[in-house]
Amino acid sequence: MSPAVTPSTTAGFDRQGERTDDDRVDAAMRSFVREFGVTAALHMESCVHCGMCAEACHFHVATGQAKYTPAYKLEPFRRAYLREVGPFAPLVRAFGLVKKLRVDELQQWQELIYDSCTMCGRCTMVCPMGIDIAELVKEARHGMFKAGLIPERLALMDRAAQEWGSPATPAEDLPDILAEVSEEHGVPIPCDLPQADILVTAAPAELGDHTKALADAAKILNRIGVKWTMHQGGFDASNIGFNNGDLQLQERLTRAIIDTAVKIGAKTILLPECGHAYGAARWEAAKWYGQALPVRIIHMTEFLDELIAEQRIRVKPIADTATFHDPCQIVRRGGLEAAARRVLAALGFELIELQDHGLTGYCCGGGGGVVSNQRATPLRHKVFEMKKAQVEATGAQRFVTSCGQCRITLEMGAKHAHWDKKTESLLELVADNLAD
């Protein structure tokens, strides 16, 4: 059973707890002000309102609505900066040049930074002033979390993760889950070994609906003869705190994985096919540690690429055409554009690129927690139509991605659109085509 849920809504937007409106605004403002370091301040001062970020955003392009312009999504953040920490903040307050935020404005802001932003970074990439809009949205979400003003679906997952160490399952259930997956797919999956070279983690879906991905990872690891394990101490590469703005929770979840790896002597942490898990564990963790990490953290795509390059595994060629969806956090913000394509080439695919691909690829529309936010479903479906049209334009026989969350989002979109194109996992394709 999940932890108890007692949602409270006002004007269609969610709020958590019983705080007064003034308390919520004050909590958000305090958080915003703390986030305004030199870099954030420069970004707030640099926007020239050119509109280029609007044409980069899949939500704006899919709807044509000005409110989805990425720069506009930062408006409450900008107002907090001008009133509290900008160079003319005392004058701004004294003359009332920028009004103090109201709680109803923050509630409306939920839609802009939770329902209609995946923090994909496409707007960041095209900004001529170098403003990292995606990073600022992440910081703004931190303030909204502090104010108790996040989508209730995400708040539920946050509470589960705080209680269980995972939004999917309590740690004590992991051995039974792995035993069931092992039996279902006929592959040994070690759990809680006291010593191993690789600590393997999972995304929540791999412990539920997508267990084949977990079994296929085990199949490949067993094939190369490495000593590996999953572990109750740190098994879920969840990104829930990253998405919600609960950065303290995200630090705890990521530290648990790293500390468990150190405990068992593992030199490598293998992340699942999940984009935001990659961002949280690979890049954010170094900030929390304040020093070089004691382990190597590697995404499944990197791992497969290295195994094939080192000839530790061989794959049978597939004589089909394929197109590839580039997961934002793995490719645009993570740098693994070439690695995935090398794996696809090894599999023998003739790759037909999407119109927008690689660093400029459009998001699936479900990252950053949007796929878990039921309220955002109609908007997400509009974004899916863009991706569907680009896939169909290639004429490719197969459609592949290397992010489990993207795969879930695209499958949900396909079901709604009655589209018969299957979204395939790069990991599963490798495992299904291992050569003897």
Per-residue pLDDT at 9 exceeds 80: no
The answer to whether 388 touches 413, Cβ cutoff 8 Å, is yes
Q: Which of 2-11, 20-29, 304-313 has the highest mean pLDDT?
A: 304-313
Of the pLDDT bands very low, low, confident and very high (cuts 50, 70, 90), residue 211 is: very high
Q: Please give the Cα distance from 157 to 402 (Å, whole number).
A: 24
Give me the pLDDT at residue 338, please: 97
The CATH class of the 8-150 domain is mainly alpha
Stronger pLDDT, 34 or 419, i.e. the higher one: 419
15 sits in which H/E element: strand 13-15
Residues of the chain with CATH 3.40.50: 165-307, 314-432
Give the residue-averaged pLDDT of 207-212.
Answer: 90
Stronger pLDDT, 32 or 114, i.e. the higher one: 114
Give me the pLDDT at residue 116, please: 95
Interval 269-279: pLDDT, tens: 999 998 777 88
Structure tokens at 230: 């999953």
Percent of the chain with pLDDT over 70: 97
Give me the pLDDT at residue 79, please: 87
Give me the pLDDT at residue 225, please: 97
Beta-bridge mates of residue 400: 324, 424
Interval 70-112: pLDDT, tens: 999 988 888 888 888 888 999 999 999 998 889 999 988 999 9
Give the residue-averaged pLDDT of 217-222.
Answer: 98
Residues of the chain with CATH 1.10.1060: 8-150
Beta-bridge mates of residue 271: 299
Give me the pLDDT at residue 2, please: 35
Alpha helices in 47-191 (DSSP H): 52-56, 58-63, 75-84, 89-94, 103-110, 122-126, 133-146, 152-164, 174-185
Give me the pLDDT at residue 168, please: 87
Give the residue-averaged pLDDT of 13-18.
Answer: 90
Give me the pLDDT at residue 350, please: 97
CA distances from 312 to 160, 186, 303, 351, 433 (A): 39, 22, 11, 24, 14
Per-residue pLDDT at 66 exceeds 90: yes
Give me the pLDDT at residue 289, please: 76
Give the residue-averaged pLDDT of 226-230.
Answer: 98
Give the residue-averaged pLDDT of 360-381.
Answer: 94
Closest CA relative to residue 383, chosen from 417, 360, 349, 357: 417
Give me the pLDDT at residue 45, please: 81
Least confident of 22-26, 82-86, 146-150, 151-155: 82-86
Give me the pLDDT at residue 186, please: 97
The CATH class of the 314-432 domain is alpha beta
Per-residue pLDDT at 1 exceeds 70: no
Give me the pLDDT at residue 13, please: 84
CA distances from 189 to 48, 170, 306, 402 (A): 54, 18, 22, 22
Give me the pLDDT at residue 11, please: 45
Per-residue pLDDT at 290 exceeds 80: no
Closest CA relative to residue 191, chosen from 234, 160, 223: 234
Fold of 165-307: Rossmann fold (3.40.50)
Side chain identity at residue 11, one-letter code = A
Q: What is the mean pLDDT of the chain?
A: 91
Per-residue pLDDT at 231 exceeds 90: yes
Interval 165-175: pLDDT, tens: 899 899 999 99
Least confident of 199-203, 261-265, 282-286, 348-352: 282-286
Give me the pLDDT at residue 12, please: 62
∠ at Cα 276 (257, 2), nearest 5°? 70
Interval 326-367: pLDDT, tens: 999 999 988 899 999 999 999 999 999 999 999 999 999 999
Residue 215: partners with Cβ closer than 8 Å, 6 or more residues away? 181, 182, 184, 185, 187, 189
The answer to whether 192 touches 395, Cβ cutoff 8 Å, is no
Residue 59: partners with Cβ closer than 8 Å, 6 or more residues away? 68, 116, 117, 365, 379, 383
Of the pLDDT bands very low, low, confident and very high (cuts 50, 70, 90), residue 4 is: very low
Give the residue-averaged pLDDT of 260-286.
Answer: 89
Q: Please give the Cα distance from 261 to 239 (Å, whole number).
A: 18
The answer to whether 158 touches 246, Cβ cutoff 8 Å, is yes
Give the residue-averaged pLDDT of 280-305.
Answer: 88
What's the distance, CA 37 to chain centroid? 24
Give the residue-averaged pLDDT of 408-435.
Answer: 97
